[in-house]
């Protein structure tokens, strides 16, 4: 498995390097400059917002003015050690963080948060990982004094996992609820271990999980763009979101890394010292087998990225629940034959 990952890593890097070279070819440059092919932009205005405001003031009651939170939170602790207590349950995590509001929302009450961040976690059959991630992520985000919500986007049914469709669904659903400033795409098995790794967006898309224990706390290859990434809604619409055609494991992250480049943006990264994560060990899931077509699709990314992504509606919501620690949105993403393929 390790050997195949290394081969995959080199394959990804090779494809990326070849495409980078190709991008300097004249005809591709012309294509990008053509006014007809201007970015298909899903405008933020297309979303419906429901603001997350305080309860309405009663007669005679004055609105309390609280100061903005400091630029650097005084609550940060730096590196932390992880333990995975076997007796931990969702109920215990819930009891430990009573300050988290229904739907997995939180904002500081003694100061006004400077940033609004939505965490989007694609998920299926990974309850154990989810429990530990929530156990560590809630206090981590609270120490950063963020105004945040956690959305778990759950793929219904048993058909092959499609993480990319879940991400696009997560963005649309989160943005319908609130005007988030920053969207964090978060693998369920990655736990951040240094709270100086700020969950806020920058001037360009950010690759956040750059130092994972599994890869010796360094990048497995230069173009790696997986694990945890952050986009503003505008940056996400500029890359047209995730591609919809990757079923199973691998390369959907390389594809969006490439999209960032194709959309003429840069990738920001935290330092190796703070962008650190521990991955909870596991085998490949049954429903998430290695996608044998992944490199074929990746090579086609320059042709496909404007055609296929957030601009296509490739999911339907089955249920939306505000649970104590997160908002659970279960979606049908169908199969390559469509949302409702004949049996
Ligand atoms: C690369 C994959 C990426 C994947 C990364 C880490 O090789 O999609 O491994 O995977 N790229 C290709 O296959 C070209 S991980 O070990 O985290 O499951 O994200």
Atom of ligand 1 nearest to the CA of 9: 7
Q: Which residue has the tokens 């943005």?
A: 175
Report which protein residue has its CA nearest ligand 1's atom 1: 9
- SS3 state of residue 36: helix
Give dist(CA 252, CA 232) in Å, integer. Answer: 19
13-17, 60-64, 195-199, 256-260: least confidently modelled range:
13-17
Is the predicted pLDDT of residue 155 greater than 80, yes or no?
yes
Q: What domains can be seen in the chain, in order of their start residue?
A: 2-36+111-332 (3.90.550.10)
pLDDT at 310: 97
Task: Give the mean model confidence (pLDDT) for residues 327-332.
Answer: 98
Q: Give the DSSP H or E segment for 90.
A: helix 90-96
The percent of residues above 70 in pLDDT, for the chain, comes to 83
Q: Is the CB of 212 under 6 A from ligand 1?
A: no
pLDDT of residue 16: 52
pLDDT the model gives residue 43: 30
Give the mean model confidence (pLDDT) for residues 237-251.
96
Maximum separation of any 2 CA atoms in the chain, in Å: 69
Q: Is the pLDDT of residue 121 over 70?
A: yes
DSSP H or E run through 169: helix 163-177
Give per-residue pLDDT as tens, 203-231: 999 999 999 999 999 999 999 999 999 99
Nearest CA-CA partner of 215 in 284, 275, 161, 269: 275
pLDDT at 342: 84
The values of phi and psi at residue 122, to 5°, are -75, 145
Instruction: Assess whether pLDDT exceeds 80 at residue 120.
Output: yes
Per-residue pLDDT tens digits for 308-323: 999 998 999 999 999 9
- Closest CA to ligand 1's atom 16: 5
Count CA atoms within 13 Å of residue 316 on its CB side.
7
Whether 30 has a pLDDT exceeding 60, the answer reads: no
Separation of 237 CA from ligand 1 center, angstroms?
24
Q: Is the pLDDT of residue 250 over 80?
A: yes
Which among 7, 8, 187, 228 is the best mutation to test ligand 1's pocket, defined by most ligand atoms within 8 Å of the CB?
Answer: 8
Q: Tokens representing 86?
A: 């076997």
Q: Residue 259: helix, strand or coil by DSSP?
A: helix
**Which atom of ligand 1 approaches the CA of 249 most closely?**
8
* 12 within ligand 1 shell (Cβ under 6 A): yes
> 176 or 3: which carries more pLDDT confidence?
176
The structure's pTM equals 0.84
Mean predicted lDDT score pLDDT of the chain: 86
For ligand 1, pick from 7, 226, 243, 281 the residue to mutate: most ligand atoms within 8 Å of CB: 226
User: What is the distance between the alpha carbons of residues 244 and 305, in angstroms, rounded to a whole number?
Assistant: 10
Asked if residues 175 and 233 have their Cβ atoms less than 8 Å apart, the reply is: yes
Minimum mean pLDDT among 56-65, 69-78, 100-109, 117-126: which range? 56-65
Look up tokens 């494991």; give the residue: 249
Q: Please name the residue whose Cα sits nearest to atom 6 of ligand 1.
A: 226
> Which of the residue ranges 26-40, 175-189, 289-303 would you say has the lowest mean pLDDT?
26-40
Shortest CA distance to 19 belongs to which of 233, 312, 255, 271?
255
On the 0-12 / 13-18 / 19+ scale of CB atoms within 10 A, 185 is buried
């Amino acid at each position: 498995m390790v050997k195949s990952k290394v081969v995959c890593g080199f394959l990804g890097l090779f494809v990326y390097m070849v495409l980078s070279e190709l991008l300097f070819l004249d005809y591709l440059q012309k294509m990008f400059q053509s006014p007809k092919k201007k970015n298909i932009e899903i405008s933020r205005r297309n979303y419906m917002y429901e603001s997350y405001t305080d309860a309405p003031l009663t007669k005679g009651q004055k609105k309390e003015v609280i100061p903005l939170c400091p630029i650097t939170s005084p609550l940060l602790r730096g590196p932390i050690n992880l333990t995975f207590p076997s007796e931990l349950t969702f109920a215990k995590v819930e009891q430990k963080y009573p300050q988290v509001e229904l739907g997995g929302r939180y904002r500081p009450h003694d100061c006004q948060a400077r940033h609004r961040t939505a965490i989007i976690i694609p998920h299926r059959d990974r309850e154990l990982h989810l429990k530990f991630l929530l156990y560590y992520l809630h206090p981590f985000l609270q120490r950063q004094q963020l105004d945040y919500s956690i959305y778990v986007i759950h793929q219904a049914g048993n058909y092959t996992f499609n993480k990319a469709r879940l991400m696009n669904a997560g963005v649309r659903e989160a943005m319908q609820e609130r005007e988030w400033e920053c969207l964090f795409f978060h693998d369920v098995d990655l736990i951040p271990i240094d709270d100086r790794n700020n969950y806020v967006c920058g001037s360009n898309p950010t690759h956040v999980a750059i130092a994972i224990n599994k890869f010796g706390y360094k990048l497995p290859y230069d173009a790696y763009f997986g694990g945890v990434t952050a986009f503003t809604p505008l940056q996400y619409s500029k890359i047209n979101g995730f591609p919809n055609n990757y079923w199973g494991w691998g390369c959907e992250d390389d594809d969006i890394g490439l999209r960032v480049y194709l959309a003429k943006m840069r990738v920001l990264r935290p330092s190796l010292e703070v962008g650190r994560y521990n991955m909870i060990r596991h085998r490949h899931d049954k429903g998430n087998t290695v996608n044998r077509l992944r490199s074929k699709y990746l090579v086609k990314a320059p042709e496909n990225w404007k055609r296929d992504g957030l601009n296509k509606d490739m999911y339907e919501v089955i249920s939306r629940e505000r649970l104590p620690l997160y908002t659970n949105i279960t979606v049908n993403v169908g199969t390559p034959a469509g949302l409702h393929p004949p049996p």
